[in-house]
């Protein structure tokens, strides 16, 4: 039977800072608003390109910009939010003179926006950290300093998944009331899986460890793994991670010969770090192939990194393959 616990009741049952609760409720409101923008995009003429390029060198969709504006408009009301770091904005947006304990919000306002025109799932990703001292304008903290992370998935239903460092909980937006209600308590990544998600069009660029892993999965029962695997790819990190949280799997966007000079494909601060926190708190693992994602000391707000996330046994296997390939014997 579905739990009737609302997001507010869930957040207030523990000892979270009230200002953090205010911010999380604002994020939930922003995600609810973005879900409506996405669903009504065809009627309001908001599908397609905005004829602009963001800081990542990617073509912006109109809804990328609108989603970013909603995050900024709604979350800026939080009294202890000091700064916003968005995928769509090159510079950090400071809202106040920072004080120790103020919050820093990192977000990808609309992940997977290339799916919009074909009506596939998109989402939003966010992470929250804190200012370390009065007047400190440093936003480049490693992922271990995250106090909260989450995402919203805009699919057949709108789902908000978050963790404050303890359990991972999922809330579904009730269409009648607009409430986010607890529908996925204490989410766990299954330790074993028979699914992997990777963009195989990049096969020619992959390093040997990734090629080895995928080739073994594709070989099926006759191969080294001696069992069949299914491959999935939706071009939306939120959708991939949500599937892994609900039925297991591993998601890879590794460094390869085509993206290595840029550091990888996905952004550390508002994609890799929050998803790593969610996956690890749900019992999975998160790595670059050579070390934990959340241990990386960032060099810039839009830094890119390799990403391997999912069921612990599969991530550990991939780390082993990377270690073997990097050893002097190879």
**For the segment 84-141, what is each residue's pLDDT rounded down to a tens digit?**
999 999 999 999 999 999 999 999 999 998 888 888 899 999 999 999 999 999 999 9
Report whether 314 belongs to an annotated binding site: no
The yes/no answer on whether domain 7-184 falls in CATH 3.30.300.30 is no
Tens digit of pLDDT for each residue in 298-315? 999 999 999 999 999 999
The whole-angstrom distance between residue 185's C-alpha and the CA centroid of its chain comes to: 19
Fold of 195-326: D-Maltodextrin-Binding Protein; domain 2 (3.40.190)
Phi then psi for 191, rounded to 5 degrees?
Answer: -70, -25
The confidence score (pLDDT) of residue 58 equals: 64
pLDDT greater than 50 at residue 297: yes
Task: Look at 72-81, 108-117, 126-135, 253-262 and tell me which has the smallest mean pLDDT.
Answer: 108-117
pLDDT greater than 80 at residue 46: no
**Residue among 19, 107, 23, 17 at smallest CA distance from 69:** 107
Task: Please name the residue that has the structure tokens 């969709």.
Answer: 61
Report whether 111 belongs to an annotated binding site: yes
Share of the chain above pLDDT 90, in %: 85
Task: List Cβ<8 Å contacts ≥24 apart for 113-116.
Answer: 113/61, 113/63, 113/64, 114/61, 114/235, 115/234, 115/235, 115/236, 116/38, 116/41, 116/47, 116/61, 116/63
The confidence score (pLDDT) of residue 3 equals: 57
Report whether 291 belongs to an annotated binding site: no
The confidence score (pLDDT) of residue 162 equals: 98
Report whether 264 belongs to an annotated binding site: no
Same fold, 7-184 and 195-326: no
Report whether 265 belongs to an annotated binding site: yes
The pLDDT mean for the chain works out to 93
> 124 and 107 in contact (C-beta within 8 Å)?
yes
Report whether 101 belongs to an annotated binding site: no
Report whether 110 belongs to an annotated binding site: yes
Report whether 114 belongs to an annotated binding site: yes
Report whether 112 belongs to an annotated binding site: yes
Domains of the chain by residue range: 7-184, 195-326
Which two tokens mark 192? Answer: 């074993």
Q: Give the span between the Cα atoms of 317 and 328, in whole angstroms.
A: 19
Phi then psi for 136, rounded to 5 degrees?
Answer: -80, 115
Report whether 155 belongs to an annotated binding site: no
């Amino acid at each position: 039977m579905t739990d009737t616990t609302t997001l507010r009741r869930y957040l207030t049952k523990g000892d979270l800072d009230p200002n953090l609760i205010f911010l999380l409720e604002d994020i939930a409101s922003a995600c609810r608003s973005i879900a409506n923008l996405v669903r009504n995009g065809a009627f309001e003429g908001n599908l397609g390109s905005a004829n602009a390029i963001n800081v990542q060198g990617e073509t912006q969709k109109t809804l990328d910009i609108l989603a970013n504006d909603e995050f900024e408009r709604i979350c800026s009301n939080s009294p202890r939010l000091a700064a916003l770091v968005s995928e769509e904005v090159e510079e950090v947006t400071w809202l106040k003179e920072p004080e120790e304990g103020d919050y820093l919000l990192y977000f990808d306002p609309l992940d997977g926006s290339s799916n919009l025109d074909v009506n596939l799932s998109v989402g939003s990703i966010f992470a929250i950290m804190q200012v370390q001292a009065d007047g400190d304008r440093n936003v480049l903290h490693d992922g271990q300093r995250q106090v909260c992370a989450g995402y919203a998935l805009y699919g057949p239903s709108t789902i908000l998944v978050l963790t404050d460092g303890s359990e991972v909980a999922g809330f579904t937006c009730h269409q009648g009331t607009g409430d986010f209600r607890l529908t996925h308590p204490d989410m766990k990544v299954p330790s074993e899986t028979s699914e992997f998600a990777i963009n195989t069009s990049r096969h020619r660029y992959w390093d040997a460890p990734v090629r080895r892993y995928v080739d073994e999965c594709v070989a099926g029962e006759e191969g080294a793994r001696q069992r069949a695997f299914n491959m999935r790819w939706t071009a939306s990190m939120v959708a991939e991670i949500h599937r892994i949280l609900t039925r297991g799997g591993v998601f890879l966007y590794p460094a390869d010969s085509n993206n290595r000079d840029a550091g990888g494909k996905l952004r550390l601060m508002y994609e890799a770090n929050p998803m790593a926190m969610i996956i690890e708190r749900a019992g999975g693992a998160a790595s670059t192939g050579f070390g934990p994602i959340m241990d990386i000391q960032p060099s810039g707000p839009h830094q890119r990194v390799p990403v391997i996330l999912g069921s612990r046994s599969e991530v550990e296997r991939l780390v082993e393959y990377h270690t073997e390939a990097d050893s002097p014997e190879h």
